[in-house]
Chains A and B, each alone.
Chain A
């Protein structure tokens, strides 16, 4: 009896192991509210539908472990969520599998996936899952009469007094400064590619330099706004939305001048379960799933057909749509972050930014 028990147990374990071998997806995500949206909108429904187990692990920035795993030849991740810029870089360095775009599901009305995704959302190695953005946010109680309405007001210390907080880095800030200086969004990168444009952006930043507190972690801007240290912030929209919606803070977002970027799936080279990974990517980038994810966190779906499907903020009766960067009204004066530009000029402008910051 005892022997049979041991034998059957062993068999079950072996069988389970064998099944797990080809029927699982190892997903590497970010944790926090964002990682939660992946679990709730993608992993759980996928398991329910296909029976394939999704193991979710978290990393500070999944791009870093991906690089390490592939270079060490010990890949334990099938699908990872990375920022667009990292996807470009990893893909160019040969660390990612190419993703066949034909696996992506068409929209509900039959529109092909290639036309349904916003431009740039699907590349050789990358499929976009969400759009987030850097936005101007302010404390509503600080300004009783006129309210800030665009990038120029962020730099207007006379009309809108109080300190500002901006991300400590060149990216986003230089574009924002140029837009505040009156440059149209579609000319920002062209101008920033010239020395005069860079000088102009830094000159604009000079005008508020002494009034800026530089943030490094995404959690800092809402905290600085809440403490009353600053009256305006240039920060990630998701953080501001969470503080305003979840904690009832009087924060308002100005969408004009927003700079948006994408995150999405990549498959590291040598992923252990490539077939299941494909299935997972196709499922999770369908319009319904994209819309569902947007209900958990205020990052917009990169598929046009998903916008209409987004319901209320999870657990409330507030519609999520208008709080997404991709909402039509919010996109009027928006700038798409140009990754090619930043991959080329990141080091150079970052160094100049640091020198500028260190100078008196």
Chain B
């Protein structure tokens, strides 16, 4: 235990006079190192139990559901779980393209079973994602199959509907027999598979997602920019005004922040619509004629205006907290050394606000990228963001796998941007207060 590099330990050892075989011991004779380790372990365990509820909460309400949701983007067992015999046939015959008698028999047996369990809708829905219009093929076959299908199965099935012989259908069923698929990601990138299984661009009138991803990121950038332009002077005022005035100003910033999101969005509708307040004022002032009222809402303009307003506090607050700590004597020193006010701002003041600006910009941008309710209400057709399509797939078409794939891509995009930010600015420079 005598450590030449730790004279303090040596002194303790000497003073205690307990140097038995070079080992420190506690009063009850245990080695001190062990006792210390044990007590620190106990402390760690106690600390762990203290955060356990939080950990469980985060795990249960955040990691687990999100992980499960993301899982859906690559795993959809709607076909494989309810058509087990046919799936087994596909697995056993990886190269056979023409279904044989065993395949038809498996198909008939699976259809009968799943019609009885009323799971046929799930199977049909899964195939319908790949070939629109086939859900009813399955459900109507299920209705007929409930009475039993007689061999020969091939003829019986084709008798029900000729479409059962379609090679494309069999190709898709083969793909779906594997619960893991990348097809939802392909669709989320406006790609699809042709009959030979090659990845090709979707038909032009179905292409939408890439365009919307770009628009989402572009609009979010614009909104981040406008919140910066509007928020910076306000934050500066807040930080430099005397306490009394700055408190009043702070309340003006926070009051809308505390108002319901829907109320604020609806307020913008009242203000900006063609028969709204702003247009009325313009007409009254004679700036525009009654016939040329401006369309400021239900389009991109509306989305930008309303979201800028809603996200403004997220820019102002971090900027303000950083600006308050900036010592005014630096700028004064620069001025006294002959810098113009612009140079002093540009070279001395502004660089010191960067940590707050970074935090605010990142906050606003990430919130904007995933924003849903405001673009849904005021966005019209040109102001829709990708989140609106995720919501559509969650609630309308009930294609949760597609929603998960889109959400995962959005998450990936944000993480990449976060990484770029870290490389360019450095995440350590982030300051929220």
Q: Mark A189-230, 1 if CB is under 8 A from B, else 0.
A: 000010000000010000001000110100000000001110
Q: Which A338-360 residues sit within 8 Å CB-CB of chain B? A: 340, 343-348, 350-352, 354-358, 360
Given contacts A93-B118, A93-B122, contact A354 B396 (CB under 8 A): no
User: Which of A216, A356, A358 has the most B CB atoms < 10 Å from its CB?
Assistant: A358
Q: Does A94 contact B (CB under 8 A)?
A: yes
- Please measure, in the bound complex, the distance between the C-alpha atom of A344 and the C-alpha atom of B121, giving whole angstroms: 11
Q: Does B381 contact A (CB under 8 A)?
A: yes
Given contacts A228-B275, A346-B397, contact A94 B117 (CB under 8 A): yes
Q: For A92, give the chain B residue with the smallest CB separation.
A: B121
B132–A348 touching, CB < 8 Å? yes
Q: Mark B210-224, 1 if CB is under 8 A from A, else 0.
A: 011001000000000
B274–A229 touching, CB < 8 Å? yes
Q: Does B2 contact A (CB under 8 A)?
A: no
B206–A355 touching, CB < 8 Å? yes
Given contacts A89-B121, A93-B122, A94-B118, contact A340 B136 (CB under 8 A): yes
- Please measure, in the bound complex, the distance between the C-alpha atom of A351 and the C-alpha atom of B134, giving whole angstroms: 16
Q: Which residues in A have their C-beta under 8 angstroms from that of B206?
A: 351-352, 355
Q: Give the contacting residue for B205; candidates A169, A214, A227, A356; CB below 8 A.
A: A356
Q: For A212, give the chain B residue with the smallest CB separation.
A: B381
Q: Does B370 contact A (CB under 8 A)?
A: no
Q: Give the contacting residue for B135; candidates A64, A344, A360; CB below 8 A.
A: A344
Q: Mark B88-129, 1 if CB is under 8 A from A, else 0.
A: 000000000000000000000000000001111110100011
Q: Give the contacting residue for A355; candidates B124, B208, B275, B395; CB below 8 A.
A: B208
Q: Which A106-125 residues sit within 8 Å CB-CB of chain B? A: none
Q: For B381, give the chain A residue with the smallest CB separation.
A: A357
Taking the closest CB of chain A, its distance from the CB of B187, in whole angstroms, is: 9
Q: For B117, give the chain A residue with the smallest CB separation.
A: A94
B128–A358 touching, CB < 8 Å? no
B396–A343 touching, CB < 8 Å? no
Q: Which residues in B have their C-beta under 8 angstroms from that of A214?
A: 298, 380-381
Q: Does A91 contact B (CB under 8 A)?
A: yes
Q: Give the contacting residue for B208; candidates A91, A213, A343, A351; CB below 8 A.
A: A351
B205–A355 touching, CB < 8 Å? yes
Q: Does B384 contact A (CB under 8 A)?
A: yes
Q: Give the contacting residue for A92; candidates B139, B276, B380, B396; CB below 8 A.
A: B139
- Please measure, in the bound complex, the distance between the C-alpha atom of A10 and the C-alpha atom of B335, giving whole angstroms: 83
Given contacts A216-B377, A350-B392, A351-B206, contact A358 B211 (CB under 8 A): yes
Q: For B190, give the chain A residue with the smallest CB separation.
A: A355
- Please measure, in the bound complex, the distance between the C-alpha atom of A64 and the C-alpha atom of B392, giving whole angstroms: 14
Q: Which residues in B have their C-beta under 8 angstroms from that of A169?
A: 396
- Please measure, in the bound complex, the distance between the C-alpha atom of A98 and the C-alpha atom of B275, giving whole angstroms: 51
Q: Give the contacting residue for B133; candidates A202, A228, A348; CB below 8 A.
A: A348
State the interface size on chain A (CB cutoff 8 A): 33
Taking the closest CB of chain A, its distance from the CB of B393, in whole angstroms, is: 8
Q: Mark B370-407, 1 if CB is under 8 A from A, else 0.
A: 00000011001110100001001001111100000000
State the interface size on chain B (CB cutoff 8 A): 41
Q: Does B273 contact A (CB under 8 A)?
A: yes
B207–A346 touching, CB < 8 Å? no
Q: Give the contacting residue for B384; candidates A91, A92, A347, A357; CB below 8 A.
A: A357
Q: Which residues in A have their C-beta under 8 angstroms from that of B212?
A: 358
- Interface of A: prevailing SS: helix
B134–A344 touching, CB < 8 Å? yes
- Please measure, in the bound complex, the distance between the C-alpha atom of A354 and the C-alpha atom of B396, giving whole angstroms: 13
A93–B121 touching, CB < 8 Å? yes
- Please measure, in the bound complex, the distance between the C-alpha atom of A217 and the C-alpha atom of B211, giving whole angstroms: 26
Q: Give the contacting residue for A213; candidates B119, B215, B298; CB below 8 A.
A: B298
Q: For B136, give the chain A residue with the smallest CB separation.
A: A344
Given contacts A94-B118, A345-B132, contact A352 B376 (CB under 8 A): no
Q: Which residues in A have their C-beta under 8 angstroms from that of B128?
A: 344, 347
- Please measure, in the bound complex, the distance between the C-alpha atom of A348 and the C-alpha atom of B135, giving whole angstroms: 12
A358–B397 touching, CB < 8 Å? no
Q: Give the contacting residue for B118; candidates A91, A193, A340; CB below 8 A.
A: A91
Given contacts A92-B120, A350-B392, contact A358 B275 (CB under 8 A): no
Q: Give the contacting residue for A358; candidates B133, B208, B298, B376; CB below 8 A.
A: B208
Taking the closest CB of chain B, its distance from the CB of A168, in whole angstroms, is: 8
- Please measure, in the bound complex, the distance between the C-alpha atom of A133 and the C-alpha atom of B134, giving whole angstroms: 27
Given contacts A346-B397, A352-B206, A357-B384, contact A229 B275 (CB under 8 A): yes
Taking the closest CB of chain B, its distance from the CB of A277, in whole angstroms, is: 19
Q: Mark A309-343, 1 if CB is under 8 A from B, else 0.
A: 00000000000000000000000000000001001
Q: Which residues in B have their C-beta under 8 angstroms from that of A209?
A: 381
B121–A347 touching, CB < 8 Å? no
A343–B381 touching, CB < 8 Å? no
B298–A352 touching, CB < 8 Å? no
Q: Which residues in B have their C-beta under 8 angstroms from that of A351?
A: 206, 208
Q: For A213, give the chain B residue with the smallest CB separation.
A: B298
- Please measure, in the bound complex, the distance between the C-alpha atom of A94 and the C-alpha atom of B205, giving whole angstroms: 35
Taking the closest CB of chain A, its distance from the CB of B370, in whole angstroms, is: 18
A350–B396 touching, CB < 8 Å? yes
Taking the closest CB of chain B, its distance from the CB of A21, in whole angstroms, is: 28
B392–A354 touching, CB < 8 Å? yes
Q: Give the contacting residue for B275; candidates A64, A92, A227; CB below 8 A.
A: A227
B119–A94 touching, CB < 8 Å? yes
29 examples of A-B residue contacts, CB within 8 angstroms: A64-B395, A89-B398, A92-B121, A92-B124, A92-B139, A92-B142, A93-B118, A93-B119, A93-B121, A94-B118, A94-B119, A94-B121, A202-B205, A214-B298, A214-B381, A227-B276, A229-B273, A229-B275, A340-B136, A343-B139, A346-B396, A348-B132, A350-B396, A352-B205, A352-B206, A354-B208, A357-B381, A357-B384, A358-B211
Give B contacts to A, CB under 8 Å: 117-122, 124, 128-129, 132-136, 139, 142, 205-208, 211-212, 215, 273-276, 298, 376-377, 380-382, 384, 389, 392, 395-399
Return the 8 tightest CB-CB contacts between A and B, nearest first: A92-B121, A94-B118, A348-B132, A355-B208, A357-B381, A347-B397, A228-B275, A93-B121
